[in-house]
Amino acid sequence: MVKLFSATHKKNTKQPKAIEVIIDGINHQGHGVARHQGKVCFVEGALPGETWRAKVVEDKKHFIQAQGLKCLTASADRQTPPCKWAETCGGCQLQHMQPQAQITAKQSFVEGLFSKVKLHTLPWQTNLQGDDLHYRNRVRLAAWYEGKQDKLHIGFRQKRSKKLVAVDRCLLAAKPFETILSALRLQLDSLKDKKYVQHVELHQVDPWSIIVLRVAQPCCREDIQRLTQFSEQNNCVVFVQSGTSPALPIDGVARELSYSILGLKMHFELADFIQVNHQMNQQMIEQAISWLDLQPSDKVLDLFCGSGNFSLPISQHCQFVAGIEGSESAVQRAQHNAQTNQLKNCQFSTKNLAEQAELKQINWGEYDKILLDPSRDGAALLCQQAHNWQANSVLYIACDANSLVRDSQFLDDAGYKISKIALVDMFPHTAHVETMALFKRV
């Protein structure tokens, strides 16, 4: 038999290159940004103003991804993270940075994006800020059942991984969950059918602290009894959701869920989208009303209106508000909220605002002012219609700064210029950037 020669491949024993860089900003992921030999270099965990020795992980044509080895010169804005899981948990990216410095860095990030489209001076207003801890009224945790150990873990995904960081507290969750979460972790691990637990959601809907368990199959009677006892001992309400069925309270008591905004009662269901930072939501609505300078004769168009979070408070200051939303259930909720608050100058309709044909159905000339609050994808197609608008003011609320910059170019082409801009610190200690920009027709 002939033995064929097979060359052995030499192992790549080349050590990753170490570089020294000076950080001058952060990117959309909260990573430090530097320059090295003409390329952009990203260093996770590095802060503006710091000097780092870093190991090159990826060296691409236009950028370098590096892993920090040692901080040679630390920023005065660096702090010890308040959470002990900050370095491994994927929930927060900026806990090592003082809260006010986070705002400054995010503002610089937005300025950098606008400078790419030749807009170098922005009319910044006072940024909106609130509490930097315990601000989330809704938190979702993943669950993982470790079969060999017969143990259920709950927590958040690790950075750059699908693995779980098991936690017994979260400093961003509403204050009542600070003690409840620790007890809940132990209680869930004691369930007979704990392997079917998939996710855990924490909702603070005053006056209730609500826990929603999402399970692969209905809980057995024994587990229901244990969860009932837990809810009584910890002064909370437990809901269970199995499959595609709605979440139901284990005590069988129906509850009316709502939050208050400027004297209005906003009803919602647990599955509805609402702003998770109530404090910042209220500030944002108040600023929207102020910036739009609403007059009794104004007719306002609220695009991506959801369940009326902006529409209903605005309707108290103008003649008429029309809200348009892609979700039929959200429109029904908005209509219900208008009725229960006895607001008769609101009208809501369902339209896909990413479809050209449906945009043509809108009578743009009817409205004096426009508010739009799109998803991260922004509203490119919508803003391309701006030359048809008669509104003198457009308020754009952006949860993605890149989308805002892109869409601002369409508004600019139609004669709308940025009159005011501010950050909304909706998610402190994360890389998320929320921005409000007022455009005026000139």
pLDDT of 189 higher than 60: yes
**Are 74 and 142 in the same domain?**
no
**Are 236 and 317 in the same domain?**
no
Name the one residue in this structure whose structure tokens are 């000097």. Answer: 51
Total structural domains within the chain = 3
Rounded CA gap, 181 and 173, in Å? 10
150 marked ligand binding residue: no
**Are 375 and 420 in the same domain?**
yes
Per-residue pLDDT of 418-435, as tens digits, reads 999 999 999 999 999 999
pLDDT of 59 higher than 50: yes
Mean pLDDT of 348-352: 97
222 marked ligand binding residue: no
pLDDT of 12 higher than 70: no
Domain extent, residue 176, equals 138-245
**Are 177 and 240 in the same domain?**
yes
Confidence band for 1, pLDDT divided at 50, 70 and 90: very low
Which residues have a Cβ under 8 Å from the Cβ of 205 and sit 6 or more positions away?
Answer: 137, 257, 258, 259
CA-nearest of 76, 69, 96 to 84 is 96
Mean pLDDT of 197-211: 96
Q: What CATH number corresponds to the domain at position 72? A: 2.40.50.140
pLDDT of 144 higher than 60: yes
Per-residue pLDDT of 27-41, as tens digits, reads 999 999 999 999 999
Return the pLDDT at 131: 97
Confidence band for 159, pLDDT divided at 50, 70 and 90: confident
**Are 223 and 308 in the same domain?**
no
304 marked ligand binding residue: yes
Domain boundary among the residues 78, 107, 125 is at 78
**Are 276 and 212 in the same domain?**
no
CA 384 to chain centroid, in Å, comes to 26
**Are 230 and 283 in the same domain?**
no
CB atoms within 10 A of CB 3: 5
Mean pLDDT of 94-118: 96
Q: Is residue 91 part of a domain?
A: no
Q: Is residue 237 part of a domain?
A: yes
**Are 154 and 270 in the same domain?**
no
**Are 360 and 304 in the same domain?**
yes
Show which residues are catalytic.
399
Q: Is residue 339 part of a domain?
A: yes
**Are 230 and 338 in the same domain?**
no
Confidence band for 244, pLDDT divided at 50, 70 and 90: confident
**Are 346 and 265 in the same domain?**
yes
Share of the chain above pLDDT 70, in %: 96
Confidence band for 127, pLDDT divided at 50, 70 and 90: very high
Q: What is the pTM of this model?
A: 0.91
Report residue 185 as tokens: 């972790």
CA-nearest of 349, 370, 385 to 288 is 370
> What mean pLDDT is reported for the chain?
94
Neighbour-count burial for 377-396, b at 16+ CB within 10 Å, e otherwise:
ebbeebbbbbeebebbbbbb
Per-residue pLDDT of 374-426, as tens digits, reads 999 999 999 999 999 999 999 999 999 999 999 999 999 999 999 999 999 99
Q: Is residue 176 part of a domain?
A: yes
Return the pLDDT at 15: 61
Q: What CATH number corresponds to the domain at position 231? A: 2.40.50.1070
Q: Is residue 399 part of a domain?
A: yes
**Are 237 and 264 in the same domain?**
no
Return the pLDDT at 162: 83
177 marked ligand binding residue: no
Return the pLDDT at 17: 84
Q: What CATH number corresponds to the domain at position 437? A: 3.40.50.150
Q: Is residue 318 part of a domain?
A: yes
CA-nearest of 201, 240, 246, 202 to 220 is 240
Rounded CA gap, 45 and 26, in Å? 10
Domain boundary among the residues 245, 278, 293 is at 245
Q: Is residue 111 part of a domain?
A: no
Helices 221-233 and 177-189, packing angle to 10 deg: 160
Domain boundary among the residues 245, 270, 302 is at 245
Q: Is residue 286 part of a domain?
A: yes
